[in-house]
């Protein structure tokens, strides 16, 4: 993951000022993040170079407008270690040590599920996935979300408006200087993502469960 410095963030914010207010609201923090990731190897001294570097996330954002930019900022840059998992592994039916988890998870899965990391937007396997079936926990295989609750939020991560009853647990998360709602697998405590409310999506719950693709494993019910 590209480190976020004051210089790179300043350059990214200048990019937002080059586009119209309508585009700016859709470009959002996810677009800024994509721009930062690309800007380290590009010169951003001119308007033309900035525009070309940021074209892809800008186009994506215009196709999928983001209602509230501030809701997406906390998803991106913050990671804790598995030893800091406040919910405590002992409270879950499936209990494993870090060594045991590392033996069955990929390094990327371990970083997100056990270390509360976040995958980059628009890179996950299930962000643009529309098959019928059930999304299971990639750590313990517990069913978490039905495909019928998945919707296109434009945020760069899989979004669901509700989980299977009893499948997840919610915790207050103050790790980034603001209050968020973290969700974890109720069976193994694996980190899934965060829940946001009141964003204006036309869903039955008015919630967006922003889930990392790498925390999930899809099982098709059509076959």
150: its two tokens: 């998945």
Are β-strands 216-220 and 207-211 bridged in parallel, bridged antiparallel, or unpaired? unpaired
Chain centroid to CA 168: 16
Catalytic residue among 75, 155, 188, 210: 210
Residue 75 known to be catalytic: no
Coil vs helix vs strand at 191: strand
For the beta sheet containing 143-146, the strands, ordered from the edge strand earlier in sequence to the opposite edge, are 143-146, 133-137, 216-220
Q: Where are the beta strands (DSSP E) in the chain?
A: 133-137, 143-146, 150-151, 159-160, 168-173, 180-185, 191-197, 207-211, 216-220
Q: From CA 197, how far away is CA 134, in angstroms rounded?
A: 23
15: its two tokens: 């990019």
Instruction: Give catalytic residues, as residue numbers.
Output: 210
């Amino acid at each position: 993951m590209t480190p976020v410095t004051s210089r790179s963030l300043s350059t990214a914010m200048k990019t937002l000022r080059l586009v119209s207010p309508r585009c700016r609201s859709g470009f959002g923090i996810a677009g800024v993040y994509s721009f930062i990731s690309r800007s380290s190897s590009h010169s951003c001294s001119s308007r033309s170079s900035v525009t070309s570097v940021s074209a892809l996330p800008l186009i994506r954002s215009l196709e999928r407008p983001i209602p509230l930019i501030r809701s997406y900022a906390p998803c991106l840059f913050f990671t804790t270690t598995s030893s800091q998992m406040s919910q405590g592994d002992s409270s879950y039916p499936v209990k494993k040590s870090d060594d045991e988890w590392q033996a069955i998870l990929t390094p990327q899965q371990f970083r997100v599920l056990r270390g509360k990391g976040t995958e980059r937007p628009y890179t996950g396997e299930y962000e643009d996935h529309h098959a019928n079936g059930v999304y299971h926990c990639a750590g313990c295989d517990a069913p978490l979300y039905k495909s019928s609750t998945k919707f296109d939020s434009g945020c760069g991560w899989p979004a669901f408006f509700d989980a299977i009853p009893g499948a997840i647990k919610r915790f207050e998360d103050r790790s980034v200087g603001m209050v968020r709602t973290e969700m974890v697998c109720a069976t193994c405590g694996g980190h899934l993502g965060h829940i946001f409310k009141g964003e204006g999506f036309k869903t039955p719950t008015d919630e967006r469960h922003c889930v990392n693709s790498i925390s999930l494993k899809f099982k098709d019910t059509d076959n």
